[in-house]
């Protein structure tokens, strides 16, 4: 029996408002037994908790760097309070999604860094892993992690260098791979998926974001009325098949390894039904 873990899915996103429960059921029908829902701002925390409880999944709580322009310093105190309140909840598996985004123009880097470092301190206080947003920011993220070590976690949607990948691994992190790996032009990313140690890789969709190539449409196609396919956790096994082909390994072996890796990264994830 297949038992996949999607370590990063925003099931609380508005793209799923019309059919959220059906989307989750469809993923489970394809063997995605468990998903991790990282909240991105204070207003989303309660929704992520409720969804995880309803579907038997896991959640993470944090303030995403793209949401720091409208975040308040008081949100850090609120995060501390909710983490304290939910301490011991097995469905709370990380502080996240947190991190730094130095790609999107117009964001205040120092403000991002302040929120990131405050949340790293909280992860350390509560002994939780972190789910990191890494976008043109690996070195700065690593600087803080070396100064303030945490119990590891996941560098989500990793797309850095081999040296940066090894630096995260050395600090106890797994690296998240998803739909971006399916594009032929993603040469560096595909090389990483082949050369990194198998024990360092976890799988994710980032649904509804980062669609695999079979869901993607160009701007011209969208202008002509062809919609982009919606990414969901149900795409995870097909994404995994692409990685298995790249690595030249059987799909069941990749499933076994990445499921074990996810559990190692986010302690508290449940065993598969057949385990």
Task: Give the CATH number for residue 95.
Answer: 3.20.20.140
CB atoms within 10 A of CB 238: 13
Contacts of 116 (CB under 8 A, 6+ apart): 65, 98, 99, 100, 141, 144
Give the pLDDT mean for 201-216. Answer: 96
Does residue 182 form part of some domain?
Answer: yes
Domain assignment of residue 86, given as a range: 4-265
Query: For the chain, what is the domain count?
Result: 1
Q: For residue 33, which phi and psi values (nearest 5 degrees)?
A: -75, -25
Does residue 29 form part of some domain?
Answer: yes
CA pair distance 226, 190, nearest whole angstrom: 28
Does residue 274 form part of some domain?
Answer: no
Determine the 3-state secondary structure of 202 from DSSP. strand
Q: For residue 267, which phi and psi values (nearest 5 degrees)?
A: -60, 130
Q: Percentage of the chain with pLDDT > 90?
A: 91
Pairing, β 92-101 against β 58-61: parallel
CA pair distance 96, 91, nearest whole angstrom: 13
Q: Percentage of the chain with pLDDT > 70?
A: 99
Does residue 270 form part of some domain?
Answer: no
Instruction: Give the per-residue pLDDT at 223.
Output: 80
In tens, the pLDDT along 143-194 reads 999 999 999 999 999 999 999 999 999 999 999 999 999 999 999 999 999 9
Does residue 177 form part of some domain?
Answer: yes
Does residue 271 form part of some domain?
Answer: no
In tens, the pLDDT along 39-66 reads 999 999 999 999 999 999 999 999 999 9
Does residue 18 form part of some domain?
Answer: yes
Instruction: Give the per-residue pLDDT at 275.
Output: 54
Angle at 45 between CA 44 and CA 47, to 5 degrees: 70
In tens, the pLDDT along 229-260 reads 899 999 999 999 999 999 999 999 999 999 99
Give the pLDDT mean for 130-137. Answer: 98
Mean pLDDT, the chain, whole residue set: 96
Residue ranges for the known binding site are: 8, 10, 97, 133, 156, 206
CA pair distance 118, 116, nearest whole angstrom: 6
**pTM for the model:** 0.96
Q: In what order do the strands lie in the sheet with 92-101?
A: 4-6, 32-38, 58-61, 92-101, 130-135, 153-156, 173-177, 201-203
Does residue 31 form part of some domain?
Answer: yes
CA pair distance 170, 112, nearest whole angstrom: 24
Residue ranges for the known binding site for a divalent metal cation are: 8, 10, 97, 133, 156, 206
Residue 226 pLDDT level (bands cut at 50, 70, 90): confident
Instruction: Give the per-residue pLDDT at 132.
Output: 98
Asked whether 171 and 141 are in contact (CB, 8 A), the reply is no
């Amino acid at each position: 029996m297949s038992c996949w873990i999607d370590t990063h899915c925003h099931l609380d996103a508005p793209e799923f408002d019309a059919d959220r429960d059906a989307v989750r059921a469809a993923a489970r029908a394809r063997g995605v037994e468990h998903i991790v829902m990282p909240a991105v701002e204070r207003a989303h925390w309660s929704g992520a908790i409720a969804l995880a409880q309803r579907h038997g999944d896991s959640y993470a709580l944090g303030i995403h760097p793209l949401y720091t322009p409208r975040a308040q310093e008081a949100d850090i105190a609120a995060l501390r309070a909710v983490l304290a309140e939910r301490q011991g909840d097995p469905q709370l598996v990380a502080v996240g999604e947190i991190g730094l985004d130095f790609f999107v123009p117009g964001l205040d880097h120092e403000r991002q860094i302040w929120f990131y470092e405050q949340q790293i301190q909280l992860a350390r206080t509560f002994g939780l892993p972190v789910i990191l947003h890494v976008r043109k920011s690996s070195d700065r993220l690593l600087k803080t992690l070396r100064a303030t070590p945490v119990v590891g976690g996941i560098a989500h949607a990793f797309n850095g260098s081999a040296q940066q990948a090894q630096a995260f691994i050395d600090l106890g992190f797994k690296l998240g791979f998803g739909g971006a790996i399916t594009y032929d032009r993603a040469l560096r990313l595909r090389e990483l998926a082949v050369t990194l140690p198998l024990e360092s890789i976890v799988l994710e969709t980032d649904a509804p974001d980062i669609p695999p190539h079979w869901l993607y449409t160009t701007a011209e196609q969208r202008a002509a009325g062809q919609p982009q396919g919606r990414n969901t956790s149900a795409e995870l096994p097909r994404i995994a098949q692409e990685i298995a082909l790249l690595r030249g390994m059987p799909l069941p072996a990749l499933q076994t390894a990445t499921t074990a890796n996810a559990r190692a990264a986010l302690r508290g994830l449940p065993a598969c039904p057949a385990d």
